Amino acid sequence: MKKSSYEINPAKIVIYSFLIVIFAGALLLKLPSSTTAKGLSWLNAFFMSTSAVCVTGLSVMDVGKELSFPGQVILLALVQTGGLGIMTFSLLFMLFLGGGTSLATRLSAAGVSRKSDIQSLMFVLPFIIGMTFLFEALGAFLLFFRFREIHPFPEAVFSSIFHAVSAFCNAGFGLYTDSLSRFQNGLYVPVVIMVLIIFGGLGFIVIDEMRIWLGSRFRGEKYRFSLHTKVCLAGTVILILFGAAAIFFFENQNLLRGMPFSGKLINSFFLSVTSRTAGFNTIDTASLTNASLFFVVLYMFIGACPGSTAGGIKVTTFAVLLALIKCQIKGSSMTSIGHRKIPHEAVGKSLAVFAAGFMIVIAAVLVFEVSERIGVSHTVANDNFLDVLFETTSALGTVGLSTGLTPTLTSFGKGLLILLMFAGRVGPLTLGLAIMNKRRKQMAYEYAEEEMMIG
């Protein structure tokens, strides 16, 4: 039977869209007018474009000094495009130009909106775009008052817009050589950036439900959050609080030493927030203790919420895995959260996402150690393994925090980071779906069952 023209593989659309924008961005960044010096090599141009479109924030250059104003505008446009999500634009094109979509395509949009009919999707897309611009505009407005004190008016305006977009899109690119370290003793800028990062990492589903909840409260009506939103909100709060406490403990005798208590608190919270999704920093990442670096690695691997601008395996995946462990220990055959049963398909997907992410990190670290440190003794490497693990997880989790290893990598190493950033943005499962391009089908038979020891 001939395949319908509307039976389009959503995963391939996501991947092709990202690739097109990355290539276009690399061409623009390669232009002589995009840099202040001799220009970028093709590898560095592709690296910066991939990092921007995948809203990662890893950089092989000083964005504020080595990119010209046109180059910074190009980078900002790439970050904005990646933050909104090429899938959103692709779906928009299909809705208005395609004349219709298959059920599979419509349901793929449920990962962003939980609404599978065309009319709902046509409402959700403008909401996503409008909500993004609203948060970014408010963030830029608030940041302007502080940046106006240190920059001339035009530069203050652009810096405010750049950092607001970068924060909400969870990219972590900044125009300052020290990221945001110059604001570590203040409260205003770190808090504004943190709020933007948190809302950008919650996902549009959660923001939409929060909007409906506020409207219901205003009308005096009751509204019950979905399990997804409850898990995202509770998980985000718990991870931020636990992370801040851990960073405070690990760094109290290191980078936080000598700071007033308020300074220790704000910097601990900032690193806890930015570790899961954005690459800004107010304290020197390379000078963190080994305990802090490893803890940040775990947070970068977890990430933020689905349907957001963040990466990682996602908070909901982590929550389902914890629920599965709890239920297995209790001897229950049902995985549940908040008196709600989690479908077996969701549990299986969570395990697959975790396993795929874990195996990619392990394989990438091994390849890095071979390509960058082959023949180098462990005693000579000086904690290089932790640096490699940190950079690898940061790329795959599209976080952007760095210990300073990225600019020193070989061409092969930078190429591998490009692949990790791309894989981290489109998702291991999406990559698998695009490569296999096969539908799940019901088997007409089952194999004989046999027990085997586990654990």
Residue 157 has pLDDT above 70, yes or no: yes
| Residues in CB range of 136: below 8 A, 6 or more apart | 161, 164, 165, 168, 196
Which token pair is 98? 């395609």
* Lowest pLDDT segment from 111-120, 273-282, 293-302: 111-120
pLDDT of residue 372: 84
Residue 437 has pLDDT above 80, yes or no: no
| Residues in CB range of 454: below 8 A, 6 or more apart | none
Which token pair is 199? 């809302």
Residue 123 dihedral angles phi and psi, to the nearest 5° = -80, -40
* Lowest pLDDT segment from 22-36, 114-128, 166-180, 431-445: 431-445
Residues of the chain with pLDDT > 90, as a percent, come to 55
* Lowest pLDDT segment from 155-159, 242-246, 277-281: 277-281
Nearest residue to 311 via CA among 263, 276, 285: 276
Type of residue found at 12:
K
- The predicted model gives 181-205 an average pLDDT of 92
- What separation in angstroms does the CA of 368 have from each of 31, 286, 402, 420? 30, 19, 15, 12
- The predicted model gives 305-315 an average pLDDT of 86
Cβ 255 vs Cβ 338: under 8 Å: no
Residue 444 has pLDDT above 80, yes or no: no
Residue 187 has pLDDT above 90, yes or no: yes
Query: What does the mean pLDDT of the chain come to?
Result: 85
Type and span of the H or E element at 194: helix 188-202
Contacts 24+ apart (CB under 8 A), 393-396: 393/297, 393/300, 393/301, 393/361, 394/56, 394/58, 394/279, 394/300, 395/56, 395/58, 395/420, 395/421, 395/424, 396/301, 396/311, 396/357, 396/360, 396/361, 396/364, 396/420, 396/421, 396/423, 396/424
What is d(CA 368, CA 374) in angstroms, rounded to the nearest whole number?
9
Residue 5 has pLDDT above 50, yes or no: no
What is d(CA 326, CA 22) in angstroms, rounded to the nearest whole number?
42
Residues of the chain with pLDDT > 70, as a percent, come to 84
**Residues belonging to the chain:** 455
Query: In terms of pLDDT, which residue wins out, 91 or 393?
Result: 393
pLDDT of residue 130: 87
Cβ 309 vs Cβ 199: under 8 Å: no
Nearest residue to 431 via CA among 19, 4, 7: 19
pLDDT digits (tens, 9 = 90+) for 212-259: 888 888 888 888 888 989 999 999 999 999 999 999 999 999 999 999
In the numeric block, the tokens 């110059």 are attached to 182
* Lowest pLDDT segment from 14-28, 94-108, 166-180, 219-233: 94-108
